[in-house]
Amino acid sequence: MSEIRFPLPDVGEGLTEAEIVQWRVAPGDRIALDQVFVEIETAKSLVELPSAFEGVVAELLVDEGSTVDVGTPILVIQTDAAGASPAADAGGVGAGAAAAPAASAAAAPAAAAAAPAPAAAEEGGGAVLVGHGTSGPTATRRRRHPSPGGAHEKLSTPPAPPIVAPAAPAPAPVAADRGAGPVASAPASAAGSRGESRVPVIAKPPIRKLAKDLGVDLSRVAPTGPIGDITRDDVIREASQASVFRNIQTPEAPADRETRIPVKGVRKAIANAMVQSAYSAPHVSVFVDVDATRTMEYLKRLKASPDYAGIKISPLLIMAKAMLWAVRRNPTVNAQWTDDEIIVKHYVNLGIAAATPRGLIVPNVKNAQAMSMVELAAALEQLTLTAREGKTQPAEMQGGTITITNIGVFGMDTGTPILNPGEVGIVALGTIKQKPWVVDGEVRPRFVTTIGGSFDHRVVDGDVVSRFVADVASIIEEPALLLE
């Protein structure tokens, strides 16, 4: 038997410390190769660490809730000398852990989150920690079979697990409309097997996922889809509030006079970034009211299109396309300031500010300028779901070039957002609601929103800022301009 002291690795984002959130093992437990043994919180995200060794847990060196530096031993594993992993023979988990390439490190938490250890073994390789090797290629996604659907199916939520057919004869499945993606029906209940009839629930996997997030029982939802399936709007109507942040009853006043919250993890990172941005980049802000009635009509047509079946369609999609169009016309807003030069970027990693239960994060859609409308819609939906589940990886929050903050989902008309550090522009989309609006000399009810933005005045002047925001507003007012 030999003992291995497992150090806290650098998970590939250049951070120096992390908090031990939850141990998944206890002293005396046997731990398998690639088994997730601890959950840590870095300054940007929650990360599950897989073990690079097999053996028995001898000791947990750090308590839950403690913050430790990278390289600090956190776990002792007893392992047979002959059964140690190749990584141990190659030099163990010493200083090399912190010096390994970031790409390998970023793959580790993603692989660990994507599949449990047995699934990883079946694909021919396990999760990789910085400083450790693997016996084969790492697979972070299950292989998918070709489908006749559109391009959006490549980016949409993975299909639901196969449903085992019941012993009793099942009703014939309902054919899905062309391009609508896979359709699953709920298995018969135990009561149904005793002779009680039950109408099968027909809903695509993304709809089931939304229902789970909102706490909606699909058996209680009245379907309105063309084949008797439950649509996204059906689920939202059934939900008491279509948001990950649900209203709660007002609690009683706490008995304690004060509550002290340690500043660490995501909150510490947010504070440092906001101070750095606010006091290093001179912000300039502009606002404009926009008639968004045509955008709302356009969204209705997209929702009715088979190409967008199973994909969330919201004003954020049109706002994202408007940003990409306006960046092409005003490229200096998609830039970075350094003390020596201004770097104008001819690609767009579009950041989406996401308020999650753990705090504000800004993941971005890589190379959004090269995506079709369908691809962008699917990418935005996946980004949002991943952020709400707390599974956004550090690599997904790096390299952003310009950001959208959708404060309209909280009922806000506008605001003065602070720039994401390293970026030149951030645009805020306010709530869209009916207001009196003058059209052809007459006051009519129209869907109106306010678009605002903040920009780094070191890089862009008022004329560029005004043209850029006006271009974004023109798409929201007339989305047909995207066809140019």
Q: Please, what CATH class does the domain formed by 280-483 belong to?
A: alpha beta
Task: Confirm whether pTM is higher than 0.85.
Answer: no
* DSSP helix/strand/coil, 353: strand
Q: What is the pLDDT of residue 166?
A: 44
Structure tokens that stand for 315 in this block: 């004003």
**Chain centroid to CA 310:** 17
Burial 255-267 (b: 16+ CB within 10 A, else e): eeeeeeeeeebbe
C-alpha atoms less than 13 angstroms from C-alpha of 474 in its C-beta half-sphere: 13
* Contact predicate 432/450, CB 8 Å: no
With 0-12 CB in 10 A as exposed, 13-18 as middle and 19+ as buried, what is 304?
exposed
* Contact predicate 48/112, CB 8 Å: yes
Q: What is the pLDDT of residue 122?
A: 41
* Contact predicate 451/476, CB 8 Å: yes
d(CA 411, CA 148) in angstroms, rounded, equals 39
Question: Where do the domains of the chain lie?
Answer: 2-122, 149-156+181-186+199-243, 280-483
Residues 145, 283, 346, 457: which is the catalytic one?
457
Q: What is the pLDDT of residue 216?
A: 80
Q: What is the pLDDT of residue 146?
A: 45
| Number of CB atoms found within 10 A of residue 446's CB | 18
* Contact predicate 432/446, CB 8 Å: no
Q: What is the pLDDT of residue 258?
A: 87
d(CA 442, CA 438) in angstroms, rounded, equals 5
| Number of CB atoms found within 10 A of residue 75's CB | 25
d(CA 178, CA 176) in angstroms, rounded, equals 6
Q: What is the pLDDT of residue 169?
A: 44
Q: What is the pLDDT of residue 417?
A: 92
CATH of domain 149-156+181-186+199-243: 4.10.320.10
CATH of domain 2-122: 2.40.50.100
d(CA 322, CA 376) in angstroms, rounded, equals 12
DSSP 8-state assignment for residue 362: -
Structure tokens that stand for 384 in this block: 């949002």
Q: Is 457 a catalytic residue?
A: yes
| Number of CB atoms found within 10 A of residue 180's CB | 21
* DSSP helix/strand/coil, 209: helix
pLDDT tens for the 484 residues of the chain, in order: 788 888 888 765 566 788 888 898 999 898 888 888 988 877 666 778 888 788 899 889 988 888 888 888 998 988 875 544 444 443 344 333 433 334 344 444 444 444 444 443 344 444 444 444 444 444 444 444 444 444 444 344 444 444 444 444 444 444 444 344 444 444 444 444 444 445 678 887 778 877 877 778 888 787 888 888 888 877 877 774 444 444 445 677 888 888 888 888 777 888 888 898 988 899 999 999 999 999 999 999 998 899 888 888 899 999 999 999 999 999 999 999 998 999 999 999 999 998 877 778 899 999 999 999 999 999 999 998 888 887 888 889 899 999 999 998 888 999 999 999 999 999 999 999 999 999 999 999 999 999 999 999 999 999 999 999 999 999 999 999 987 6
Q: What is the pLDDT of residue 450?
A: 96
Q: What is the pLDDT of residue 199?
A: 61
Structure tokens that stand for 212 in this block: 């789970």
* Contact predicate 191/198, CB 8 Å: yes
